[in-house]
Amino acid sequence: MSANPNELSIKINENSKMKKFFILLLMLLLLLIPIGFWFGIIKDRESYKHDAIKDVASAWGDVQVFSCPTMSFERKKDKTTETVYLTLNDYNVDINIITEVRKKGIFTVPVYTAEVKLKGDFTNTYGNLSDKEITTSIQVGDSIGFIEEPKFKINDRPEKLTQDTKYISKLGNTGKNIPFEISYKIRGLNELFVNLGGQINNIKIKGNWADPSFTGNFLPSKREITKDRFNAEWRVPKVATTNVATVNPAPVAKYNYEDIDRNAKVGVSLLMPVDNYRMATRALKYSFLFITLTFLSYFIYEITDKSKKRIHPLQYLLLGGSMLIFYLLLVSISEFAPFIAAYIIASFMTISLISTYTYYVITKQKNKKFSILITVLLVILYTFLYILLMLQDLALLIGSLGLFLILALIMYATRNVDWYNES
């Protein structure tokens, strides 16, 4: 038989423990509202950061993607003119990046100046091309980053400066292989990528950055990272790229920082040590759980304290609000200080506020033991949260074990509570 709703209501009203439990549940649900606002605030701050990055990119240069050089000529076929592309054979890329950090408002953006040297040869299967105008082209992600004219040296002819990314000339006698050397300086930010289109691709990238992340389809065959520099090398044969992508020799549009096609590319990302907005978002996802555990601690204190001290629902809201302010403090301070420093400062301020409020307001200075216990509990919770944020791969395992231990402690603390007996 189903319980009579009226009887259930009478039982709840008669038992203050159950009544307080449902009140606390309502308080927790109310606190979900500001948690949703907090997510929106972090997203807005992150979007301001992206706007700052775009502003820097518009004047400095965006993410650079170095497509393979092309060599082509035009010939007549069936009363039409077609463009014929030679096959890129050996392709050697040597890039030295000089990095710095630019500020836009309160945001910092890693930028670089890349000294690019391309060397290799194209396979010529069309005989002597001495009477043809040969077009050699290079392609980059964002041409606004050029800070000097590209230099072309084709088929051992004298080196030429150009005002364009194309070099058109007659190369004289051409053999089976047409060697080339191309060099230029270009600026970019955050990341750089190199297309792989040769029969053999040898890529070397080095720079003065201590925290590089190697991206693309292939990891370096050799790499060395020190406290202030890195050096990476890739050797990728054509056969390794056949199932990845083919390089389109057509001109490329300006690359979108948020959506870069990394197929058949290798590259380097200049990572900032910690993305404070991503970390704050991850921390905020645990906020409801942490507030719930804190409320449970105070609730257990209420039902187990011999003095029958009662905590008003508004006091619970103040405690929950102070825990939510932690996340705003974390985001705002981390915009000016390293994330770990911001975390320590924000957690210290929050724990101090709650501990002081507990001792002077809730317990009226009569229960120092409980105030110390709450302080220790909060220190453990915020330490536990920081560990979860740092150990991304083990976060689920550590979190599950931690929740199991917390539940076991709650069971132990309430082992002598008679939920049906008011006394």
Cα 169 versus chain centre, distance: 45
Distance from C-alpha of 244 to C-alpha of 263, rounded to nearest angstrom? 6
Are the C-beta atoms of residues 129 and 72 closer than 8 Å to each other? no
Specify if 419 maps to a domain: no
| The 3-state secondary structure of the chain, one letter per residue | CCCCHHHHHHHHHHCHHHHHHHHHHHHHHHHHHHHHHHHHHHHHHHHHHHHHHHHHHHHHCCCEEEEEEEEEEEEEECCEEEEEECEEEEEEEEEEEEEEEEEECCEEEEEEEEEEEEEEEEECCCCCCCCCCEEEEEECCCHHHECCCCEEEECCCCCEECCCCEEEECCCCCCCEEEEEEEEEEEEECEEEEECCCCEEEEEEEECCCCEEEEECCCCCEEEECCCCEEEEEEEEHHHHCCCCCCCCCCCCCCCCCCCCCCCEEEEEECCCCCHHHHHHHHHCCHHHHHHHHHHHHHHHHHHCCCCCCCCHHHHHHHHHHHHHHHHHHHHHHCCCCHHHHHHHHHHHHHHHHHHHHHHHHCCCCCHHHHHHHHHHHHHHHHHHHHHHHCCCCHHHHHHHHHHHHHHHHHHHCCCCCCCCCC
Distance from C-alpha of 126 to C-alpha of 121, rounded to nearest angstrom? 15
Structure-token match 């924000």, residue found: 346
Which of 146-150, 168-172, 383-387 ranks highest by mean pLDDT? 146-150
pLDDT for position 250: 38
Residue after which a domain boundary falls, among 221, 238, 272: 272
Specify if 128 maps to a domain: yes
Are both 238 and 93 inside the same structural domain? yes
pLDDT for position 394: 75
If you compute the radius of gyration of the chain from its CA atoms, what whole number of angstroms results?
Answer: 32
Percent of the chain having pLDDT more than 90? Answer: 38
Distance from C-alpha of 185 to C-alpha of 97, rounded to nearest angstrom? 10
Are both 153 and 107 inside the same structural domain? yes
Arithmetic mean of pLDDT, 29-47: 90
Are both 95 and 219 inside the same structural domain? yes
Q: Is the pLDDT reported for residue 9 higher than 60?
A: no
Specify if 193 maps to a domain: yes
Distance from C-alpha of 397 to C-alpha of 131, rounded to nearest angstrom? 70
Number of domains in the chain: 2
Which of 212-221, 244-253, 307-316 ranks highest by mean pLDDT? 212-221
pLDDT for position 216: 87
Are both 283 and 268 inside the same structural domain? no
Distance from C-alpha of 271 to C-alpha of 48, rounded to nearest angstrom? 19
Specify if 145 maps to a domain: yes
Q: Is the pLDDT reported for residue 259 higher than 70?
A: no
> Mind listing the pLDDT tens digit for each residue in 189-213?
989 999 998 999 999 999 999 889 9
Q: What is the CATH number of the domain that holds 227?
A: 2.60.40
Q: How confident is the model at residue 256 (pLDDT cuts 50, 70, 90)?
A: very low
pLDDT for position 1: 46
Q: How confident is the model at residue 290 (pLDDT cuts 50, 70, 90)?
A: confident
Range of the domain at 398: 14-47+277-413
In the chain, the amino acid numbered 182 is I
Among 76-90, 259-273, 350-364, the range scoring the smallest mean pLDDT is 259-273
Q: Which has more confidence, 25 or 418?
A: 25
Specify if 129 maps to a domain: yes
Residue after which a domain boundary falls, among 241, 256, 272: 272
- Identify the bridge partners of residue 336 per DSSP, sorted by sequence position: none
pLDDT for position 417: 67
Are the C-beta atoms of residues 197 and 264 closer than 8 Å to each other? yes
**CA dist list (Å): 4 to 23, 180, 330:** 21, 90, 48
pTM of the model: 0.72
Mean pLDDT of the chain: 84
pLDDT for position 254: 41
Are both 318 and 186 inside the same structural domain? no
Specify if 77 maps to a domain: yes
Distance from C-alpha of 383 to C-alpha of 376, rounded to nearest angstrom? 10
Residue after which a domain boundary falls, among 272, 295, 326: 272
Are both 132 and 215 inside the same structural domain? yes
